[in-house]
Amino acid sequence: MEVTIISSEHRVNEEIRSSRCRLISNEGDQMGIFALVDAQRIADEQGYDLVEIASNADPIVCKIMDYGKFRYDLEIKEKQARKNQIRVDIKEMKFRPKVDKHDYETKKNHILRFLESGSKVKVTIMFRGREMSRPEMGLNILEKLADELEGLAIIENQPKLEGRNMHMLISPLKKKEVKDSKDE
């Protein structure tokens, strides 16, 4: 008989390395403590696999089950968990300290669109050359943006100068929080 390792999580049939085990039936009833060869024989007679479910118990715990169906059900549960998982995207919008009014409005509209889609937005002011001597220009842009987005978003990270760039992280408000702020 050929031994194939199906999973590293559970030992199945001949992979189990113990002399005896506590056996649980396919229906979930405890059958008692058996020698491993007897437990394997019982599982074979019923047409199921013998699966080790608690390897650190003394004696180990094995269950008679259809291992293929068990793996399939686990994969379905993992897919559901991944599907329900919330993925947060971080978009970035870059400004210059001497941004034109129209460019500012266009970029602000992009930021609003990102926030409405549920993404966080990292706003970056890029300084070049002599602009580094006037970081307050960049701070003014970020403060103006924060004021205009009040009620739609929250400032997660306050403006911070790092090297030649100033960053600020904006997060969208939850749907309920947006309704509450509109009511006030």
What are the domain boundaries of the chain? 13-81, 90-179
Whether the pLDDT of residue 164 is over 80: the answer is yes
What was the pLDDT predicted at 179? 52
| Sheet hosting strand 120-126, strand order edge to edge | 90-95, 120-126, 165-172, 153-162
Burial class (CB in 10 A: 0-12, 13-18, 19+), 59: middle
Which CATH number does 13-81 carry? Answer: 3.10.20.80
Half-sphere exposure of 148 (CA within 13 A, CB side): 13
Mean pLDDT, rounded, for 9-28: 83
Task: State how far the Cα of 119 lies from the Cα of 158, in Å rounded to an integer.
Answer: 17
pLDDT (tens digit per residue) in 70-104: 889 888 988 888 887 777 788 999 999 999 999 99
| Cβ-based neighbour number of residue 57 at 10 Å | 12
Q: Sorting pLDDT into bands at 50, 70 and 90, what band is 112?
A: very high
Rounded CA-CA distance 157/115 in Å is: 15
pLDDT of residue 47 exceeding 60, the answer is: yes
Q: For 76, how many CA atoms within 13 A lie in the half-sphere containing its CB?
A: 6
Are 13-81 and 90-179 in the same CATH fold?
no
Phi, psi angles (nearest 5°) of residue 153: -150, 165
Q: Which CATH superfamily is domain 90-179 in?
A: Translation initiation factor 3 (IF-3), C-terminal domain (3.30.110.10)
The pairing of strands 90-95 and 120-126 is parallel
**Category of 151 on φ-ψ map: left (φ > 0), alpha (ψ -120 to 50) or beta:** left
The predicted-structure confidence for 131-161, as pLDDT tens digits, reads as follows 889 899 999 999 999 999 888 899 998 999 9
Question: Is this structure's pTM higher than 0.75?
Answer: no
